[in-house]
């Protein structure tokens, strides 16, 4: 269990808590399903990001280029950030979708298939992503340059953890 990034998970939990406490305040203005023009769309998108995603700037902070970017290099180094020192190390990459609000989300990617035990990748264990369900908006085309914003929930990988493979009892 030492592979779990508490930082990554606490970001996720914070989002879930925020999600619930803010939901009553979310019922504002015109129906969410209405088609709106470009400026109204921008305004709504920005309001959504302020309300729901203002914590998430914590994630892109990890996006600085990595000195160690393979499993082997990370195993040998065992230094630096939690994502490098974990027995199931990961890096972040930007997942971009221009029809989604927010467009860019940092996704964690496991560097190893196995886990790093005594500075070597041990295939008796598996690195697996830890995901958090997050609310995004999808931009849907109406007609005549109008758009609709629709709620959607996606699973965002925020870190990796080390598990025993399912087949091993
Ligand atoms: C966009 O829609 C809003 C609300 O209906 C309206 O006030 C505004 O003038 C419109 N803007 C443009 C550029 O059409």
Give yes or no: residues 146 and 106 share one domain. Answer: yes
Say which residue the tokens 């005594």 belong to: 118
CA of residue 92 to ligand 1 center, whole Å: 38
Spell out which residues line ligand 1, taking CB within 6 angstroms.
37, 39-40
Asked if pLDDT for residue 102 goes beyond 60, the answer is yes
pLDDT score of 34 more than 60 = yes
Q: Are residues 19 and 53 in the same domain?
A: no
Q: Are residues 24 and 8 in the same domain?
A: yes
Same domain, yes or no: 21 and 80: no
Q: Are 11 and 42 part of one and the same domain?
A: no
What is the spatial distance between Cα 18 and Cα 88, in angstroms, rounded to a whole number? 28
**Mean pLDDT value of segment 141-165:** 93
168 within a domain of the structure (yes/no)? no
At 16 the pLDDT is 39
Among the listed residues 82, 79, 98, the one whose alpha carbon sits nearest the alpha carbon of residue 90: 82
Mean local confidence (pLDDT), 13-37: 52
Q: Which domain CATH number covers 107?
A: 2.10.90.10
pLDDT of 128 = 97
Ligand 1 centroid to 145 CA: how many Å?
A: 12
Cα separation values, 14 from 21, 53, 54, 55, 56, Å: 11, 11, 11, 8, 10
Nearest CA to ligand 1 atom 6: 40
Same domain, 63 and 131: yes
Question: Is the same domain home to 57 and 17?
Answer: no
Helix (H) or strand (E) holding 64, with range, is none
Total structural domains within the chain: 2
Task: Answer yes or no: do 127 and 78 share one domain.
Answer: yes
Residues 5 and 82 in one domain: no
Q: Does residue 43 fall inside a structural domain?
A: yes
Q: Confirm if 157 and 31 have CB atoms less than 8 A apart.
A: no
**Residue 89 domain boundaries:** 32-163
Q: Do 130 and 88 have their domain in common?
A: yes
Q: What is the pLDDT of residues 62-97, one digit of tens each?
A: 555 455 578 888 888 777 777 778 899 998 888 999
Mean pLDDT lowest for which of 7-21, 114-128, 153-167?
A: 7-21
């Amino acid at each position: 269990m030492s592979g779990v990034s508490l930082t990554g998970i606490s970001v996720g939990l914070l989002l879930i808590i925020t999600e619930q406490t803010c939901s009553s305040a979310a019922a504002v203005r015109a129906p969410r399903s209405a088609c709106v023009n470009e400026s109204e769309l921008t305004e709504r998108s920005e309001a959504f990001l302020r309300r729901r995603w203002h914590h998430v700037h914590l994630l892109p902070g990890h996006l600085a280029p990595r000195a160690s970017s393979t499993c082997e290099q990370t195993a040998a180094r065992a230094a630096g950030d939690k994502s490098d020192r974990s027995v199931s190390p990961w890096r972040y990459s930007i997942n971009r979708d221009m029809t989604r609000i927010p467009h860019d989300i940092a996704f964690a990617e496991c560097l190893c298939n196995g886990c790093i035990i005594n500075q070597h990748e041990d295939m008796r264990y598996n690195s697996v992503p830890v995901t958090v369900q997050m609310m995004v908006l999808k931009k849907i085309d109406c007609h005549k340059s109008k758009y609709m914003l629709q709620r959607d929930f996606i699973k965002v990988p925020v870190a990796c953890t080390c598990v025993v493979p399912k087949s091993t009892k």
